[in-house]
Amino acid sequence: MELEYSIIRSAGRRKLTITVERDRRIVVHAPEGVPEEKIREAVDSKRQWLFEKMRHPQKYEDAPQPPGKELVNGEAVMYLGRSYRIAITATASGDIEFARQFLVPPGIAAGGTKAFSDWLLVRAEQKILPRVEHYARQLGVNYRDAEVSEGRFRWGSCTPGNGLRFNWRLIKAPMSVIDYVIVHELAHLIEPNHTPRFWNIVRAQHPATENAKRWLCDHGELLEQRL
C-alpha cells in the first residue's frame, strides 16, 4: 500500500531522513530542492522497515487510544461501502446476523466489540479470499498464502515470502475498493516497488484504481478503529 507521509524541508539539511513519530506519522526531513519523486522513491524503498516500525505498539505507548464504535443500539457501522445500524436484539441463530442491519444478541453485545469484530473478520475472509484466488489467476501469479487478519495502520501487505495479508477492516469498503487492494498486493508479486510498470499492471487489472485510492485516502481513519 501507499504510505502517507509529510515532508519537512530545510535549507541546511544535506541528507534525507525518514522517521516514524510516536503517533505513527511518517515524516521525511529533506534538503531544499529534492524532487517529490525522489522522496516517494526513498519512502518506497523503506516500506518494509516503516511498516515494521509502525506495527510495534509497545514503542508507542503514548499513542492515543483508537477511537471506536460502541456496540450499542443505533450505532452505525460501515459494511461494503455503506453504513448500517446495529440493533441489539435476539436472533434465530443466537449469533450475530445481517439483514439490512446488524442484529446483535444482547449476550454477545455485553461482551464488548471483540465478538462483533471477529464476526466481521470471518465475513471479510469469505469475501476477500475467493477474490484473491480469482485475481491471482488473472494476473498469472502464485502466492504462498493469503490471510485476513487483525492489524492496524494498513489495508493490505505482501510479506517477503509471498504471503498476502489483508486487514479485516477492508470489509467496510466497497467491493471495488477491496478488489483494488487485492490487485495491488498481488501486483507486488510481479513488481515489488511502485514503479510506472507496477501501476500499469494494477490499472490494467483494475481500471477504477484512482477512485479506489481516493476512497482509501478519504477513509484512512477506519483503519484506526476497533470496530
Q: How far is the CB of 184 from Zn ion (least distance, A)?
A: 5
Kindly state the cell numbers that stand for 19. 522517521
Q: How far is the CB of 45 from Zn ion (least distance, A)?
A: 12
Nearer CB in complex with Zn ion: 1/183: 1
Q: How far is the CB of 202 from Zn ion (least distance, A)?
A: 9
| Closest by CA position to 53, among listed 83, 90, 81, 23 | 23
Phi, psi (rounded to 5 degrees) for 25: -75, 145
Q: How far is the CB of 198 from Zn ion (least distance, A)?
A: 8
Nearer CB in complex with Zn ion: 115/151: 151
Question: Which residue shows C-alpha cell 484512512?
Answer: 220
Nearer CB in complex with Zn ion: 73/138: 138
How many chain residues interact with Zn ion (CB under 5 A)?
A: 1
| Closest by CA position to 181, among listed 195, 171, 196 | 171
Nearer CB in complex with Zn ion: 1/124: 1
Nearer CB in complex with Zn ion: 123/165: 165
Q: Is the distance from CB of 115 to CB of 107 less than 8 angstroms?
A: no
Pick left, alpha or beta for residue 94 (phi over 0 → left; psi -120 to 50 → alpha; otherwise beta).
Answer: left
Q: How far is the CB of 185 from Zn ion (least distance, A)?
A: 7
Sheet bearing 145-149, strands edge to edge: 145-149, 163-167, 156-158
CA 74 – CA 70 distance, rounded (Å): 10
Q: Which helix (H) or strand (E) holds 76?
A: strand 76-79
Nearer CB in complex with Zn ion: 1/212: 1
Q: Is the distance from CB of 28 to CB of 43 less than 8 angstroms?
A: yes
Q: Lay out the site mask for Zn ion across 1-30 (x = CB under 5 A, - = otherwise).
A: x-----------------------------
Q: How far is the CB of 197 from Zn ion (least distance, A)?
A: 13
Among positions 35-74, residues that touch Zn ion (CB under 5 A) are: none
Applying CB under 5 A, which residues contact Zn ion?
A: 1
